[in-house]
Structure 1
Amino acid sequence: MVLHEINYDANVPDMVLHVNHKSMPTSQTWSYTKTHIGSYVMTYSSSKAIHFILITYKHK
């Protein structure tokens, strides 16, 4: 298991997810959930590990 944590300052959380997703491997299948504390948890499986990406943001 691999854990990544990315923090952002953003006005539009959906754009943060979109921009970040474009920088991630496109060959993987992504799933994500938005939590009530203002963060996205994204997961994907690779041949070596399951990756968990925690993306947090705060409104300006």
Structure 2
Amino acid sequence: MNNNRGLWVALIVTAGFFVAFAGGVLAWLGGAAVPVAVLTGAGGFAGFVGLAVAVMAFLTRAQD
């Protein structure tokens, strides 16, 4: 059986970094202070990675 979960997690985390960067930059450009923009990016990262890993787990679980 071919198990690519590690590759999927690496891809999800990489995409999460892009989401975090975009969210932080947009918050900063919107006038938020730098610490608030960093927290905004961190929240975007956590939300994206959490949802994506949950979807991955749902789609790759064994069919009984």
The TM-score range, normalised by the shorter chain, is 0.3 to 0.5
Structure showing greater radius of gyration is 2
Greater strand share, structure number: 1
Greater helix share, structure number: 2
Higher relative contact order (CA 8 A, sep 6+): 1
- So what's the TM-score if we normalise by structure 1? 0.33
